[in-house]
Amino acid sequence: MIDNGWSAWPSRPDEGACWNCAFLCRRDFANAHLATYYELTQDDRQRARFFTLGSWNLPPTCFRAMHITDEIEQTSAVLSPIRPNLSGDERNSVNHAAVTVLAADRGCDKWMRYHPGLDPRASFDLGLQLVDQQQRRDALRLAGTQLQLTEAQSQLTTALESLQRQHLAFIQRESGMNRWMQQAFLILAVLTLVLALLPLAYPNGIEWIVERAPGAARPVAESATPTQTVSPTH
């Protein structure tokens, strides 16, 4: 029988294998009608004491219904290892096969770490509590995340509304400036047109305008009849 501690074990994963799973246990196969499962202790795991003379009817099994007992039998090539009359070599072979099967990396999604002192049913109940607590934490975290998203969405909406108001004010300013520029261009065009037409309407230019301005001095027109000179009387 293997009895030299963990040195009997090959390389094994820390998670997902049977050797340190809470659901690796013993069950009384001689009374299979009883739904009773027993803890497979840390000492028995470490020393690979799975099939012993004193507990021949309590081989290792899985609380979650993995068929590890059948796998151990197939690996050991020992026919019906669950019996009291196993020879020493047969028992040694079966325990070696159990080490190989239980150390295999199964990547089991039902795996839960073994805690000494808990039988598989207590571990199962503990797992349900842990799952429930995790679900509650996840629900609280999700509610907090949703609240943060709602607040962020509200802030984003406010920022967008402020940006729209600024954009509208900018468009209105631009529109007013455009109207002012259009009016300025129109006045400039009218002035340019007037200045262009003045020389045509008034060939003498500014002198003509000055002469006809209100209050301007006008030259006296000469009479067509010559002035008679009166000679003095002597």
**What pLDDT sits at residue 126?**
82
Q: Is residue 149 scored above 70 in pLDDT?
A: yes
Q: Is residue 70 scored above 60 in pLDDT?
A: yes
Residues 19-46 pLDDT 10s: 999 999 999 888 877 878 999 999 999 9
**Minimum mean pLDDT among 167-171, 191-195, 202-206, 223-227: which range?**
223-227
Q: Is residue 108 scored above 60 in pLDDT?
A: yes
**What pLDDT sits at residue 1?**
44
Most confident of 30-39, 113-122, 159-168, 210-219: 113-122
**What is the percent of the chain where pLDDT is above 70?**
80
Average pLDDT over residues 179-207: 75
25 and 120 Cβ atoms separated by less than 8 Å:
yes
30: DSSP letter: G
Cα(120)–Cα(123) distance, rounded to whole angstroms?
5
Question: Residue 187 corresponds to which tokens in the numbers above?
Answer: 């006045």
**22 burial type by CB count under 10 A (0-12 exposed, 13-18 middle, 19+ buried):** buried
Whole-number average pLDDT of the chain: 80
Q: Is residue 204 scored above 60 in pLDDT?
A: yes
Cα end-to-end distance, the chain, whole Å: 188
**What pLDDT sits at residue 114?**
93
Average pLDDT over residues 143-154: 84
Average pLDDT over residues 136-144: 80
